[in-house]
Structure 1
Amino acid sequence: MDIAILSVSLHVHSTRRLVEEAQKAGHYVELIDHTKCSVKLGEGNPKIFFGSEDVTHEFDAIIPRIGTKVTKHGAAIVKQFEINGVFSTARSAAISRARNKVATLQILAKNGLPIPETLFSINPNNIEDQLRLLGGPPVIIKLQEGTQGLGVILAETKKSARSIIDTFYKMDTSILIQKFIEEANGEDIRIIVIGKKVVASMKRTSDMDEFRSNIHRGGLGEAVKLTPREKFIALQATQLLGLGVAGVDLIRSASGPLILEVNASPGLKGVEAATGVNVAKRIIQYMERHVGRKS
């Protein structure tokens, strides 16, 4: 196959791992920086340019690794590859859905999958009522498009919660507020789903002074055995969002597993190190099975 990885740099560990495994499997692979891509419409068939190079028909498959700040542009580039019949491990609509935390949680809740009690609003005049609906502080305040633990704040008192929420509302910043699950004890689980299979899972534990368990925030990862229920909801969440490859994050609460979010471009470094599973190779094998067929 001729494969394009849509990523800004080979210095990104996950991108480098995918390149390595694609080359080991005998495929041609090229890094395409989606921020330097353009789409030309009108006057004949649409064309995709990487800089001045026409790459419209150069690839059989793409692996999108789209950054948070360029989600809309990245998804548009992926969409044009899809229209041109190129297989993608993550379709454009699924990337956009997964990147929006509220949209993801709405879809999951509609289909009966368990999530933490969550509230989103833009009304700065009833913050007290909003906190009351979640049982009061402590609460978790999240930017709707944060990633790697960035834009996630623990407000432990009513005063701090009110101050933080009011500030975000006045900055016209989209947030959501979630009930703090104390019994999770600073731990969450990252589950990697490829196709219709769970291929790896790790428990991430925060350090002593940090409630966020993300590896990028200094959390520690170790392999973990999933319950049948956890496997089921991870697979269901991935399917509902329409993703071929996903990282599903959940926590274990007193009432059972709760889904926090679904990532369309999960990092590989932490999970491969913690589990010993060659996730990059599994992604390439997934592409090999599907190229030439609609995803």
Structure 2
Amino acid sequence: MNIFILSVGDYIYSTQRIYKEARRRGHNVQVVNHLKCSIKLSGGKPEIIYEGKNIIDDVDIIIPRIGASATRHGAAVVKEFEMNGVYSTARSLGILRAQNKVRTLQIMNRKHIPIPNTVFSVNPENIGEQIDLLGGAPIIIKLQEGTHGSGVILAESKKSAKSIIDTMYSTNTSILLQEFIKESNSEDIRVLVVGGKVVSSMKRKGVDDDFRSNIHRGGSGSKVELTEEEEAIAIKAAHHLGLPVAGVDLIRSKRGSLLIEVNSTPGLQGIEAYTGDNIAKAIVKFLEEECSAKSLKTTS
């Protein structure tokens, strides 16, 4: 297979791991910086220009590693490949949906996937009512497009919540409000889904003075066994967002496990280190199966 990994640099752990596993299994692999790709639209001819050359016909499969700061351009590059029949481990629409927390939760709620009670509004005149809809403080305030735990605030009193929310609204910052799940004890679960199957799962625990559980913020991880319900939630969430490869974050509550976020570009470093699972290999093997299936369908 000819594989492009869309990534801003080959120095990134996850990019390196996928690159090495694909090369080890005999595939042609190139890291393509999507920020340096130009899309040319002219006469109905598909063109993605990279380093002075149209590369759109040089690839069978793309593996997008699109960061939050380049979501729109990255998704546009992925879309152009898709329209030319190139298979992607994250569809362009899935990337855009997953990056927007409100859109993700709207879809999950519509599909009856359990989520924390959530309120989204831009009305500065009824902030107290918005907080009351969640049962009062403490509440979680999240930026719609934050990553790695950034832009996630715990407001412990109604007074502080109103002050923070009012400030966010006054600066036109897009936020959402969620109930605080105290019994989660600063823990969540990251589930890696590849090709409709769970290939790894890790419990993340935050540091003592931080309610967030992200590894990037000093948290720790350990391998965890999922319930059948948790496996089903993760697989369905990835499917509904159109993400063959996804990181699904869950939190355990008195009401059962709840989905809090889906990541179209899940990092591999923490979860591979803490679980010992070879996720990069699982991704490449899945792509081999997909490529083989497409070939069989073409010749049958």
Q: Please say which of residues 68-77 and 36-45 is displaced more in the overlay.
A: 36-45
Q: Please say which of residues 47-56 and 101-110 is displaced more in the overlay.
A: 47-56
Gaps of 5+ in 1: none
Distance 2:287 2:6 in 1: 15
Q: Deviations over 1:59-93 (max 9, x none)?
A: 11100000111111100100000111111111111
TM (norm. structure 1) is: 0.98
What SS is found at the alignment partner of 1:59?
coil
Q: Name the structure 2 match of 1:100.
A: 100
Distance 1:267 1:192 in 2: 10
Give runs of ≥4 in structure 1 deviating > 4 Å: none
Q: How large is the RMSD of aligned CA atoms in angstroms? A: 1.1
The aligned amino acid for 1:239 is H
Q: Name the structure 1 match of 2:109.
A: 109
Q: Name the structure 2 match of 1:159.
A: 159
Q: Does 1:291 align with 2:291?
A: yes
Q: Deviations over 1:249-293 (max 9, x none)?
A: 000001100000111110001111111110000001111111273
TM (norm. structure 2) is: 0.96
Q: Does 1:250 align with 2:222?
A: no
The answer to whether the 8 A contact 1:188-1:204 is kept is: yes
Q: Name the structure 2 match of 1:229.
A: 229
Q: Does 1:40 align with 2:51?
A: no
Measure how far apart 1:44 and its partner are: 4.7
Q: Name the structure 1 match of 2:298.
A: none
Q: Residues 238 and 159 (structure 1 numbering): CA distance in 2 closer, same or farther, change over 3 Å?
A: same
What SS is found at the alignment partner of 1:41?
strand
Distance 1:287 1:79 in 2: 19
The answer to whether the 8 A contact 1:38-1:51 is kept is: no
Q: Name the structure 2 match of 1:125.
A: 125
Q: Name the structure 2 match of 1:23.
A: 23
Gaps of 5+ in 2: 296-300
Q: Deviations over 1:214-234 (max 9, x none)?
A: 111111000001111111111
Distance 2:71 2:175 in 1: 17
The aligned amino acid for 1:2 is N
The aligned amino acid for 1:72 is R
Measure how far apart 1:28 and its partner are: 1.2
Distance 2:13 2:164 in 1: 34
Distance 1:45 1:151 in 2: 41
Distance 2:27 2:209 in 1: 45
The aligned amino acid for 2:216 is H
The aligned amino acid for 2:179 is K
What SS is found at the alignment partner of 2:222?
strand
What SS is found at the alignment partner of 2:262?
strand
Q: Please say which of residues 146-155 and 178-187 is displaced more in the overlay.
A: 146-155
Q: Name the structure 1 match of 2:147.
A: 147
Output aligned runs, 1:257-272, within 5 Å. 257-272=257-272
What SS is found at the alignment partner of 2:42?
coil
Q: Name the structure 2 match of 1:195.
A: 195
Q: Deviations over 1:187-236 (max 9, x none)?
A: 00000000111010000000101111011111100000111111111111
Distance 2:185 2:68 in 1: 28
The answer to whether the 8 A contact 1:189-1:202 is kept is: yes
Q: Name the structure 2 match of 1:280.
A: 280
What SS is found at the alignment partner of 1:105?
helix
Distance 1:241 1:213 in 2: 24
What SS is found at the alignment partner of 1:260?
strand
Distance 2:199 2:44 in 1: 43
Q: Deviations over 1:2-33 (max 9, x none)?
A: 11100001121111111111111111111111
Overall identity of the aligned pairs, in %: 57
Q: Name the structure 2 match of 1:11.
A: 11
Distance 2:267 2:9 in 1: 14
Aligned pair count reads: 294
The aligned amino acid for 2:273 is A
The aligned amino acid for 2:174 is S
Q: Name the structure 2 match of 1:87.
A: 87
The answer to whether the 8 A contact 1:206-1:218 is kept is: yes
Q: Does 1:238 align with 2:238?
A: yes
